[in-house]
Amino acid sequence: MPPEPPRTALVVRVDARQCEVCLDGPASPPQAAVLRGRLFEERGEDKLPVAVGDRVLLSTDEHTGELAIDEILPRANCFCRRAAGEEPRRQLLAANVDQVVLVSCFGTPPFSSVLTDRILAATSFGGIPTTLVLNKTDQAERRKMERVVATYHGAGYAVLPTSAEEEQGIDELGALLRDRTSVLYGLSGVGKSSLLNCIEPGLGLRTREVSKSLKSGRHTTTFARLYPLAMGGAVIDTPGVRVFRPFGIPPHELRLHFPELRERGGACHFPGCLHRGEPGCSVPAALELQTLPESRYRSYLELLEELETVYGGTAPVEEEADGGRDARGSKPKAPRR
């Protein structure tokens, strides 16, 4: 008998060397599939070669009858971070998504501008639209919440305050997720699973109380998983993050992924100004006038130093249009170390 032709499938869960795939769309029953060994040999810079949201080609192993992933089809985009370790490797978090929904909160765990700014820079570099959801507004100190909302609204980000406890903003969040493939991402304990359960109770995702002594959340979701939504679309629920290191952003392009700095660049004396003490830089005046939030600028300087340590020194910016990406969305190469 001739071998069966390869079939396409959607990866809906990734766990070590085994995945779950859906053959007929995300609403079809998931089936286990193993990864061919050569995918690990060809993974290049990636920690794992496959991500939730990938479209793949499958075959059936003639000896075991198992489904096996032979090939990962080209991606429209990917959401990733730098994996832990000395060598900069890419950890894929999700692929082929319409948006990232970055969930932060007030109360416990406390809002982290550093983590938020790092993730927003990474999604900008990946060309993925991102909405900042501020959960647990019922626990928020009003002035702090207003200050945070103003900071990110002022930078041009969409901001959605929510409360899973009081069901505030749930309809708006549902409208945001409808008919799109979305990634929910954020610190452990910010309420990602609780928000999804409010939108679609049938998902029945587990939730746990946060640790008040540690001021942090406890991991409930332990692996990324794609869930189809009855209202249309799908959501990728991810494990809570504690540390986020952006992958691959050339240091000299980082300012292009902070909208406030990108906009002010035209007023600087040098076209490639890094906003780090260069003569004729427009940033000191903006800080003095409080038109540039100090928290965002601190995040930028900290991340710039980190990227320089990983990828080497800065270099001139050759093209600044569209956030440093060409019309096809291709990412420029990182500087050599």
Q: Domain span at residue 311?
A: 251-324
User: Is the same domain home to 96 and 232?
Assistant: yes
Q: Alpha carbon of 75 to those of 78, 218, 220: distances in Å?
A: 7, 32, 28
* Strand ranges (E), the chain: 7-15, 18-22, 31-35, 55-60, 67-72, 78-82, 90-95, 99-105, 130-135, 158-161, 181-185, 225-228, 234-237
User: Is the same domain home to 136 and 173?
Assistant: yes
**Residue ending a domain, choose from 202, 237, 272:** 237
User: Is the same domain home to 122 and 11?
Assistant: no
In this structure, the dihedral spanned by the alpha carbons of residues 296, 301, 302 and 304, taken in order and rounded to 10 degrees, is: 120
Residue 69: φ, ψ to 5°: -85, 120
pLDDT tens series, the chain, 337 aa: 456 677 999 999 998 667 999 998 888 899 999 998 899 888 889 999 999 999 999 998 777 888 999 999 999 999 999 998 878 899 999 999 999 999 999 989 999 999 999 999 999 999 999 999 999 999 999 999 999 999 999 999 999 999 999 999 999 999 999 999 999 999 989 999 899 999 988 776 655 454 444 344 344 555 789 999 999 999 999 888 889 999 999 999 999 999 999 999 989 999 999 999 999 999 999 999 999 999 999 999 999 999 999 998 764 444 343 444 333 233 334 433 3
- For residue 32, what pLDDT is reported? 95
* 330 in a structural domain: no
* 335 in a structural domain: no
270: left (phi over 0), alpha (psi -120 to 50) or beta: beta
What's at 159, amino acid-wise? V
Number of domains in the chain: 3
User: Is the same domain home to 62 and 97?
Assistant: no
Find how far residue 306's CA is from the centre of its chain. 19
**Residue ending a domain, choose from 44, 74, 104:** 74
CATH of the domain at 67: 2.40.50.140
User: Is the same domain home to 185 and 219?
Assistant: yes
Q: How many residues does the chain have?
A: 337
* 297 in a structural domain: yes
> Residue 199's closest CA among 230, 224, 153?
230
CATH of the domain at 124: 3.40.50.300
* 284 in a structural domain: yes
User: Is the same domain home to 84 and 232?
Assistant: yes
* 329 in a structural domain: no
- For residue 222, what pLDDT is reported? 59
- For residue 322, what pLDDT is reported? 42
* 279 in a structural domain: yes
User: Is the same domain home to 165 and 26?
Assistant: no
User: Is the same domain home to 92 and 159?
Assistant: yes
* 245 in a structural domain: no
Calculate ∠ Cα 309-313-317, nearest 5°. Answer: 130
User: Is the same domain home to 110 and 193?
Assistant: yes
User: Is the same domain home to 95 and 225?
Assistant: yes
User: Is the same domain home to 139 and 256?
Assistant: no
User: Is the same domain home to 96 and 50?
Assistant: no
**Are the C-beta atoms of residues 220 and 195 closer than 8 Å to each other?**
no
- Cα separation, 257 vs 90, in Å, equals 19
**Residue ending a domain, choose from 74, 99, 124:** 74
* 272 in a structural domain: yes
Location of structure tokens 């928290």: 295
